[in-house]
């Protein structure tokens, strides 16, 4: 038996398969998942699991380069926005239209993880990144300026009370 972290085989496999720029969506219970999507349905009841519970498991294991969410979240769902700030680097936030979350982002997503959350606008797209610090650790490799900022972002610790 695996000792810690994500125990669900499908979710663990999905995270391990994510490549730079690919999208994983974590969505609420009512999300219209496209028929041909890689669907991981973790919903077992109303608010089981919550979005926050999934962020707590996924954020430490997935390098996230960008977090996309419906623009309404910041103004109208402050608890969800606070949860995103806790688990993901706010510098990487990008608001999009609600229509994009249920439309084009869902179509582009490599995997869609359905929660039991009953959370307005609770459909979050995580764009996978890479560990730039590891890629540029060899002192013989020069670091272009645009990558220096990305390396500096590696100091963010998911769940460390950034809200």
Residue 163 has pLDDT above 60, yes or no: no
112 contacts 37 by C-beta, under 8 angstroms? yes
Give a yes or no: residue 161 inside a domain. Answer: no
Give a yes or no: residue 4 inside a domain. Answer: no
127 contacts 68 by C-beta, under 8 angstroms? yes
The total of structural domains in the chain comes to: 1
On the CB side of 69, how many CA atoms lie within 13 Å of its CA? 28
Give a yes or no: residue 163 inside a domain. Answer: no
Out of 9, 13, 20, 134, the active site residue is 20
Give a yes or no: residue 77 inside a domain. Answer: yes
Residue 3 has pLDDT above 90, yes or no: no
Range(s) of the domain holding residue 19? 9-155
20 noted as active-site residue: yes
Residue 35 has a pLDDT of: 94
Residue 145 has a pLDDT of: 87
Give a yes or no: residue 147 inside a domain. Answer: yes
Looking up residue 36, the CATH number of its domain turns out to be 3.40.1650.10
Dump pLDDT digits (tens) for 74-103: 999 999 999 999 999 998 999 999 999 999
Dump pLDDT digits (tens) for 42-81: 999 999 999 999 999 999 999 999 999 999 999 999 999 9
Dump pLDDT digits (tens) for 120-162: 999 999 999 998 888 898 999 998 888 887 887 767 788 876 5
Give a yes or no: residue 43 inside a domain. Answer: yes
Give a yes or no: residue 73 inside a domain. Answer: yes
Residue 161 has a pLDDT of: 64
The rounded distance, in Å, linking the Cα atoms of 93 and 25 is: 14
């Amino acid at each position: 038996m695996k000792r810690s972290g994500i125990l669900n085989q499908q979710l663990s496999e999905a995270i391990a398969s994510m490549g730079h720029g690919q999208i994983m969506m974590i969505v609420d219970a009512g999300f219209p998942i496209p028929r041909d999507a890689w669907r991981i349905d973790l919903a077992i009841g109303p608010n089981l699991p919550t979005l926050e519970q999934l962020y707590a498991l996924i954020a430490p294991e997935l390098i996230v380069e960008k977090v996309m969410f419906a623009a309404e979240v910041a103004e109208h769902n402050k608890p969800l926005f606070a949860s995103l700030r806790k688990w993901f680097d706010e510098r990487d936030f990008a608001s999009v239209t609600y229509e994009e979350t249920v439309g084009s982002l869902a179509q582009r997503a490599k995997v869609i993880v359905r929660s039991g959350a009953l959370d307005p606008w609770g459909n979050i797209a995580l764009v996978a990144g890479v560990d730039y610090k590891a890629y540029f650790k060899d002192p013989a490799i020069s670091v272009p300026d645009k990558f220096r900022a990305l390396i500096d972002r590696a100091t963010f610790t998911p769940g460390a009370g950034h809200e």
